[in-house]
Structure 1
Amino acid sequence: MDNKYQWPQAMAIYPDRNNKTYRLKRLRYKLRSLKSYSNIKKFEQFMNENPDFIGLVNSHPNYSYPVVYRFLDKRFSAKQRLQMICENLTFLPNKLSELGHDPLWEKEINFGEVIPDFDLRLKINEFQPMEGYWNLELFYKPTEELIYLLSFGKIEQSLLIAVIQGPNQEGSKEMVKLLTKKCHGLRPAYLMVEAMKSLTQLLGYENLQGIPQKYQNKSRFVQSKHYAVNYDTIFSESNGVLQGYWQLPLSLENKNLDDIPSKKRSMYRKRYAMLEQLQSSMKEKLFLS
């Protein structure tokens, strides 16, 4: 493992691939780096004062890029962004270390099956770290297909959902429909929000927030005009209240069964039992029970 951190070269982040040049992206990276020279030096100092994280950031050069561009929220100033990046690199690994876990970049945490053949995992973000360094990911086990992901971060004393995204490949819509049916009518995006509520509580936080649509850093995991995520809709329908960020309740979805049509009550009972079992499994896998 490298024991010293230095700001990555442009070619490390944007190497040419498949006979395609990324020269312009490298130029843009260099210009942004020049503009943010003072913050880069502060970040280098921070990293070298926290050597436990050097291996992660050196092996993922794009983890450095948010210092000079965007991180979690488009509204952050350069100073805010640097502060958030330093806090976000360390808060979750430090908490998991306290609980007796290996670093996530060495070993993910598998929370087990939400329903048969679909499991939930806590991992590093391999896709777009400007949207957060940590992910909850839902996998279809028979094919190891990533079905949904949620990227999150920490802002002050709250956790923030920065991304909720699903797949965009052949058969994906059918898979999402199947998952919704198996989850007793709960759509995958909302399942991910419910899982994040549980994780927030188990990590000891009292507040969970969601990024407003207009301040979200667009995810690269899904790029399709036919498949769009509206964060405001998801968080509003998850009983969120917009106050700068969407303020989300931490209690799991649990409607009064008397207010639900009798023909749907069985479905809701099974849904609530599924969410309670998931929370119990997450608690056990985090070494909290």
Structure 2
Amino acid sequence: MLNYTEIGKKIYNLENPREYHRYVVFRARCLLHPQRMKRLEKFFASNELLAKIADVYPFVYEQPTRAFFYNKSTFAERAELVEQHMTYLIEQLKPQEVVDLYSCREQLLWESADEGEKLRLRLFFHPGQRKEGLLSLILSADGKGDLYQMMFWIAPDKSGDWSLWIGAMQGPNMEDARDIIKQITKRCHAYRTKNFILHATQETAKALGLKHIYAVTNYGYYAMNHIRRDRKLKTSFSDFWAESGGTPCEDKRFYELPMTEYRKSMEEVPTRKRANYRKRYALLDEIDAAIADNIKKLRK
């Protein structure tokens, strides 16, 4: 039987009063849902690989107990989500690659080859990202840090198709963020960085063999920290998903996004911009090939 005391000590810093409070709440919620926690324990004890994942990433037992992932998610839904995500990964990826992802070891999917500070796309995850997902795709720049992050999980949709679910998209959080983003956008041939990270997410989903992409809406976001004190959105997820070709789902917490980004033909592009578009498309083709190749190396 799970020792919630020992697991809680691995998850929380008990010298911090706030963390100690969360530890107490964690233990209480586990005791309030004994049957579902037993099922979760049985799942992670069902084979050696899952047991190892739970050992290096004990937060699999905590995430179902907290109001994470999306608005009004239930304890049972969160537990099932964790199990489904891990089931897909261990079926599709090499065992050590899965363990590495949950041991804070990144997987490089693409690295820029032009002059200037290196841009990178990395598949990575650490416990600080656990509120919105179970994996992250990160766009970073040397000397600048992480520019954009897409947090997601993998689970079947209502039709049973394995899909990628975006829990949140986070932008840069540094003082000179606006100037940095302008520089990166110019370097990417006027391609917006948030479109960049979404495009990379679409290609990652395809490389992982997934069939659909869903994303939380403003209403679907698990918390309210994307809203300012004046109640205006810092970032409107819903607006960006709509701009990107997404369509609202029957469940208003989610949009369905296209698996492939729409590309304008050269006939649709003004003559003066065509050279820039050709360079942008060449860059995207390079990124697509790198993502496909590097994820193929991770797969069984």
Q: Structure 1 residue 122 and structure 2 residue 123: aligned?
A: yes
Aligned to 1:211: 216
Q: 1:35 aligns with which of 32, 37, 41?
A: 32
Residues 145-156 of structure 1: pairs in structure 2 closer than 5 A: 145-156=145-156
Q: Structure 1 residue 185 and structure 2 residue 183: aligned?
A: no
CA shift, 1:213, in A, is: 1.7
| Partner AA of 1:241 in structure 2 | T
Deviations 1:102-156 (A, max 9, x none): 6433653211224641010112244232321111111213x37222211111231
Q: 2:202 aligns with which of 162, 176, 197?
A: 197
Q: Structure 1 residue 59 and structure 2 residue 56: aligned?
A: yes
CA shift, 1:54, in A, is: 2.8
Cα distance change of structure 1 residues 125 and 237 upon mapping to structure 2, 3 Å threshold: farther
CA shift, 1:9, in A, is: 4.1
Between the two proteins, the alignment pairs up a number of residues equal to 282
Deviations 1:138-192 (A, max 9, x none): 1213x37222211111231211111211231233332222112212222222111
User: RMSD across aligned C-alpha pairs, in angstroms?
Assistant: 3.0
Cα distance change of structure 1 residues 219 and 114 upon mapping to structure 2, 3 Å threshold: farther
| Partner AA of 2:216 in structure 1 | I
Moved more, 176-185 or 257-266: 257-266
Cα distance change of structure 1 residues 228 and 136 upon mapping to structure 2, 3 Å threshold: same
| Partner AA of 2:24 in structure 1 | L
Cα distance change of structure 1 residues 109 and 219 upon mapping to structure 2, 3 Å threshold: farther
CA distance in structure 1 between the partners assigned to 2:98 and 2:220 by the alignment: 33
CA distance in structure 2 between the partners assigned to 1:135 and 1:115 by the alignment: 23
| Partner AA of 1:268 in structure 2 | Y
CA shift, 1:27, in A, is: 3.2
TM-score by length of 1: 0.84
Identical positions, percent: 22
Cα distance change of structure 1 residues 219 and 133 upon mapping to structure 2, 3 Å threshold: farther
Moved more, 229-238 or 7-16: 7-16
CA shift, 1:75, in A, is: 3.6
Note if contact 2:57-2:102 (Cα within 8 Å) is conserved in structure 1.
Answer: no
Aligned to 1:97: 94
Aligned to 1:160: 165
Q: Which runs of 5+ in 2 are unaligned?
A: 157-161
Q: 2:239 aligns with which of 233, 238, 250?
A: 233
Note if contact 1:209-1:247 (Cα within 8 Å) is conserved in structure 2.
Answer: yes
CA distance in structure 2 between the partners assigned to 1:240 and 1:21 by the alignment: 39
